[in-house]
Amino acid sequence: MRKLIAGNWKMNGLASSLAEIAVLKGATGMATCEIVVCPPFTLIEKSSQQLKDSNITIGAQDCHPQTSGAYTGDVSAEMLADAGARYVILGHSERRVSHHEADALVASKVVAAHKAGLTAIVCVGETRGERDDGRALHVVGTQLRGSVPAGSSSSNMAIAYEPVWAIGTGLVPTIEQIEEIHSSIRKALEERLGEDGRNVRILYGGSVKAANAAEIFAVANVDGALVGGASLTAADFAGIISAVGQVG
């Protein structure tokens, strides 16, 4: 299975930041995996034009479940596709927590993404308290069941496991913890989607960097990464991409 490396710029980046993507086009290992960069809404069209003849794909960080209407400040999946996006991150913990997005809302956004022809990267993950209470598997399983709608498949969806306590903190779960969660996600996907569940890419996210990427990529059922801060500069992101080639 070809690994997927997605960069989430979050609320960072101006037009001048596109120079980082231009540098990235020459990174070692680009041919060994699929690369997606998810800049803020304001840069989607410019970046998609810049990367028209490259093997880097542009994604978005969220979408509204409706196609249009009186939703001031929101952006529909159709608008994202029209601007050149091919992927969209949905259910990120920062949306679930700060914007109080429940599983049902995430699922409705995934449906909207699929209708627009976008591949949804659906995020799941537990808080520190939930892990300390021994509820990580239950929390992730519940989010997965509630956030993945009918019609989902390996061709229109990837799952990203991001333990909330590891995002931007420098903390990383043990290899055993990552393997346990990813294996449980794989099992749930196979139960839900049948044989196609084996083909859905499951990404790991949370303080991924060049120094630990190869070890993480070698874990069973880790099919790539959702990268935050380290995706903002070409040098850091390229180091993660090149780590794919280090996995035997």
Residues with catalytic roles: 92, 162
Q: Which residues does 236 contact at the CB level (< 8 Å), separation at least 6? A: 209, 210, 229, 230
213: tokens are 């990427």
The span from the CA of 65 to the CA of 113, in Å, is 8
In 2-118, at which residue ranges do the beta strands (DSSP E only) sit?
3-8, 33-38, 56-60, 87-90
| 3-class state of residue 76 by DSSP | strand
The tokens 């034009």 sit on which residue?
Answer: 49
What is the C-alpha to C-alpha distance for residues 13 and 20, in angstroms, rounded to an integer?
A: 10
Going by C-alpha positions, the residue among 29, 62, 28 that lies closest to residue 44 is: 62
Q: CA 227 from chain center: how many Å?
A: 8
HEC string of 107-165 equals HHHHHHHHHCCCEEEEEECCCHHHHHCCCHHHHHHHHHHHHCCCCCCCCCEEEEECCHH
